[in-house]
Every structure is written in structure tokens, then in C-alpha cells.
Structure 1
Amino acid sequence: MQRIAIYDMDRTITVRGTYAAFLTHMALSLAPWRLIFMPLAGFVMLGYVLRLVDRGRAKELNQALLIGRRVNRERIRPAVEAYADKVIARNIRAGALAQIAQDRASGCRLVIASASFRLYVEPIAKRLGFDDVIATDHFSQGVDYIRARIAGENCYDVAKLRMIEAWMSREGIARAYAHVRAYSDHVTDAPLLGFADEGYAANPHRALASLAAEEGWPVLHW
């Protein structure tokens, strides 16, 4: 029986969300003049709230505004690594670190499953000692430049569960022979928490706290 512990990242492991801060950090590091587009990025998010654009398209548009439509991977790598260092230093929950250490000690394979971009989730996961990352990929994943386009699905809501199941299939992990723990702060991860043998509402917002009470998922406060 393989033991797997799957963690959402933003506001589960971290105290605050990471995506907007990542875009701001990259603009400041690479091309500060792009900060003039911040109001436009705000309008893009308003469009998402009003359901004029979907979440994935909003990510693509804001990346194009604040980082660029196409940027060299090696050129931006130092800024990405610096952002990962910043997250580790200032934005990690102590309780999450303790739970990660406990799951590691119990023999779990540690996985981050995040809607954030693999581009910066991977260096954060590496610093935290995770074994695997399931995240939103760029269309140009694996080549020498980054495009402001998402490859496949945005790793969010039921799409996250589909991506986890696809990862398990690629890794040769049969669901019947795996014991899965899952941790998330947000109700959009209800499909994942329901899929898990042990689903935990970690630092839940109100909607997830209410659903956790209905489903019998333990609530953790890190």
C-alpha cells in the first residue's frame, strides 16, 4: 500500500496567496515599467469575477501584461528562484511544516497539487522537500522560453482531481493500492477531499468549514 499526502499550496501551506505576488515580483525584477499595467490586470480580474473570462484565461492575460507574452526561461530563472526564497522566508505556515514533516516521517510520498504555475511551484516544493508537483503548466513547458499560455487544464476544482488521477496513472499507482491524505483550505478542492481516504480542511474559509462539518472532514488550523 503506497501512502500519498497531497497538499494544496496557496493558503494551505502558505499564509497568503502567491500568484498576484509572483506577478508583481517578476515585473519588479525584470521590467519595472510593466507595473503601469497593474490597473489593466485589475480589470482582467474583474472580468473573471463577472464571468466574462475564465480563470485560466485571466492568468494568461495577466502574465502577458506583467511578465510578457514570451520570455526566456534562463533569463527569468534567478527572479523565480528569488521569489521561491521569499515565499519560504515569509509566507509558510509553521503548522503546515509540522504536518509535512509528520507525513514524511510516516512514509508518505509528498505531493503539491496547485492551481499556481509549475514555473514557481516547483522551486517552492523543492525547498519544502516535496517529492512531486502537479500544477498548472505553461504551453511551452520543457523548452527554453515561457509563453503566456496554459497547457491543458488549469489545475483547479474538478480539473485538479483529473490531473491527480492522470498523474497516478502515469506513475503506475493503482487507487485501490494507495492510501491518500489530502489537505486544502478551499471548497473548490472538495472533489479532491472526497477522493482522499483522509480529507482535511486546513485553515478553511467559511464555505469549506461548512462543507467539512457536513462531510465529516477534520478541520485543521495551522
Structure 2
Amino acid sequence: MILAVFDLDHTLTKRESLLLFFCVVRGWPRFVGGLVRLMPAIARYALKQIDNQRLKQAFCREYLGQWERSTVTAWGERFTDRYLWGMLRPAAVERLRWHQAQGHRTLIVSASPELYLRPLAERLGVDGVLGTRLVTVAGRLTGEIDGANCYGPEKVRRLRELVGELGGYEIYAYGDSRGDRELLAIATHPYYRCFGP
């Protein structure tokens, strides 16, 4: 079995998606106001006092906490169609289509929320999604991350959880950052910031 695993931000897309998603969902004035309130957490992250999971959780609490999940899911659909689709790299999509034409199993594995990874995967015909999950209580998002941020070693753990032992697979992995290092390390064919030899 052959797996083709793609990161999202700066791999499938030309730019970061999460901050844009927050801005689209909450509107520009509310987004800027949130950034002001988040400055202490951003400063602590810059000083390496907190990790990227705690920083992301602070952002999710600020922008998504207490929103109805159905509302944010609908925003994820709109965000995919109006913004994310236009951010895709043609070379990345071409490589994805090549894998699909070969009959390879394709996955998006990203630290971005599954709320908008899933609609993108559906539109691209990708076989599965592994992303950051958010806690829902009584139909509302709490702003808490469910488990670990899908970053670094968590990408590999989640991949094993989905498909089982990886030794029986030939894996093509595409990534662009430190958060993809572990995923690229276990790949048979690792591609860092490129889509072919």
C-alpha cells in the first residue's frame, strides 16, 4: 500500500490559513481586538515560556470559544470555498492528482483545525484528514484542543492510529517546516518544500 501525506500550510497552500480563518469568522475589528488581548500569550511563546499547543489553545479560546459548533462548521465550508481554494499551490495540486491517478491513498495531515480541513479534503477528493480537533460540549466549542495539537510527533502518532503499523507502507510525505520533521523522517520518499526530485 502506498500513502501520500500532505501538510497544509505552505505545502498545499501558498500561505498560513489559521489566522485568516479567525479573521474571516470574527471580522477584522474583533480579530484585531483579540490580538491585543493575546499579546501576553504571544510574548510568552516568543520567550519560549509556553509551547505552540498552549499558544494555539489561547487563540482558539479567544476566537472560537462558546460558539456553536454548527455555526463554525458552516464558516469552515465558506472559508474553504471563498479563500482556501484560491490559496492552493498549483504544483501541489498537480502532485496530489498524480498520486490519485496512481491509486495511492491520499491524506492531509496538518496542525490546522479539522473544521476546515474536512471540506477541503472533500473538494480535493482526498481519502482522509488528520488535523487538530476542538472540544465540543453541548453543541458549543469550548476553545480547548481535544488531545494534542497535530504537530511534530503527533502527526506520526495520529497516522499510526489511523492506518496501523507504518512499516508495511511506502510513504510519500510533503512538508515545509519543523512541524513536519518527524513525518518526513518516517517517509520512504520525503519531500521538503518541493514536489519531486
TM-score for the superposition, normalised by structure 2: 0.90
For the pair 1:57 / 2:54, whether they are aligned, the reply is yes
RMSD between superposed Cα atoms in Å:
2.0
- 2:26 alignment counterpart: 27
Residues 73, 116 of structure 2: 8 Å contact kept: no
Structure 1 stretches of 4+ moved >6 Å: none
For the pair 1:159 / 2:154, whether they are aligned, the reply is yes
1:192 to 173, 183, 197: 183
Shift of 1:35: 4.0
| Superposition map of 1:1-222 within 5 A | 2-28=1-27, 33=30, 35-67=32-64, 69-140=65-136, 144-169=139-164, 174-202=165-193, 219-220=194-195
Residue by residue over 1:187-214, the C-alpha shift from the partner in whole angstroms, topping out at 9 and shown as x without a partner, is 3312111201111112xxxxxxxxxxxx
Shift of 1:7: 0.4
Shift of 1:220: 3.8
- 1:216 alignment counterpart: none
Residues 44, 62 of structure 1: 8 Å contact kept: no
Residues 183, 193 of structure 1: 8 Å contact kept: yes
* Amino acid of the structure 2 residue aligned with 1:184: G
CA pair 181-49 structure 1, distance change in 2 beyond 3 A: same
Residues 72, 115 of structure 2: 8 Å contact kept: no
CA pair 144-168 structure 1, distance change in 2 beyond 3 A: same
Aligned length: 196
Shift of 1:78: 2.6
**Structure 1 unpaired stretches of 5+:** 203-218
d(CA) in 2 for partners of 1:51 and 1:12?
A: 26
* Aligned sequence identity (%): 26
CA pair 35-66 structure 1, distance change in 2 beyond 3 A: farther
d(CA) in 1 for partners of 2:38 and 2:125?
A: 33
Shift of 1:38: 2.2
Residues 34, 65 of structure 1: 8 Å contact kept: no
Shift of 1:175: 2.5
TM-score for the superposition, normalised by structure 1: 0.80
